[in-house]
Amino acid sequence: MKNVCVITGGGSGMGLSAAKKMGKNHHIILVGRTAKKLEGALQELNSSGVSAEVFPCDASNRESVQKLAEHAASVGNIKAVIHSAGISPHMADGTTIFTVNAMGTIYVNEEFAKKMNADSCIIDISSMSAFMMPEEKLPVAVYPLSLSEPEKFKESMLGVLEGLPEEYKAPMGYMFSKNFVVWYAEKSACLYGKKGIRVLSVSPGTFETPMGVLEGEAASSIAVNGALGRVGQPEEIAELIAFLASDAASYMTGTDVLCDGGAIAARKITQNN
């Protein structure tokens, strides 16, 4: 039975770079809202000898994710799931951002854990934004609801966003959602560890991707002021993701890996001086 790697948001940027790397020893299922938008990525993978296919899925819809998980299980052994689908503050309103980023992670983790076997791995892609706000200012007390009553969790979190001034809703929706992804990956690791499923989160900084370009000068300036003084290349984080998903990292689970060129480290030093 072939080993399968499912990559949501794999049509470009770090998702596509990860697909190229993981495709060396996995059959790749590229996932996006519409299969048509993934055709170029599929052709690129196939032309480089990667076995791949596309499957349409809306990660913010549980039923859609269920269908994806069922399909992936029918193709082979789901060895890795890289959940990189997500939207940034310049792409939608706060409600949509939170729903896609946070609820999508819940649905992907829950539904794929039902189909995955031992020695497999889920990697949830967060963001360095998860570390930009003090914990006391984050609605962390609401997070545990996600484990028992996901829809109540969503309702409560959207209520928090609704109480913010309009100009803060999108950026806060993003920060809240990405901070939650780190928290939820940690909890998922404890829920599924005895089954042999590892769960990790990766928090990228600013990378030279379509989303990174969309975020503009504000995002690139954070990178330039970081320890390395530059933005990252998609291939750099693809190498990290491939390592974390591999058997070489078989004892890693329940933790976040911040890959931001030292942007958060530099930010902390600046704030403390």
Beta bridge partners, 52, equal 28
pLDDT of residue 254 exceeding 80: yes
pLDDT of residue 210 exceeding 70: no
Q: Locate 219 and state its tokens.
A: 């995002």
- Predicted structure pTM score: 0.94
Residue 273's pLDDT is 63
Q: What percent of the chain has pLDDT over 70?
A: 95
List the one residue out of 204, 202, 205, 203 whose CA is nearest residue 224. 205
Q: Is 13 helix (H, G, I), strand (E, B) or coil?
A: helix
Residue 216's pLDDT is 57
Residue 129: pLDDT band (50, 70, 90) is very high
The sign of the CA dihedral 14, 132, 123, 39 is negative
* Residue reference for tokens 């006391």: 136
* Average of per-residue pLDDT across 85-109: 94
Architecture of domain 3-207+232-261: 3-Layer(aba) Sandwich (3.40)
pLDDT of residue 141 exceeding 60: yes
How far, in Å, CA of 201 to CA of 104, rounded? Answer: 14
Residue 167's pLDDT is 93
* Residue reference for tokens 């330039």: 224
pLDDT of residue 97 exceeding 60: yes
* Average of per-residue pLDDT across 155-163: 96
Residue 213's pLDDT is 58
* Residue reference for tokens 């031992």: 118
Residue 33: pLDDT band (50, 70, 90) is confident
Q: Locate 31 and state its tokens.
A: 């996932």
* Average of per-residue pLDDT across 219-241: 91
Residue 260's pLDDT is 96
pLDDT of residue 212 exceeding 80: no
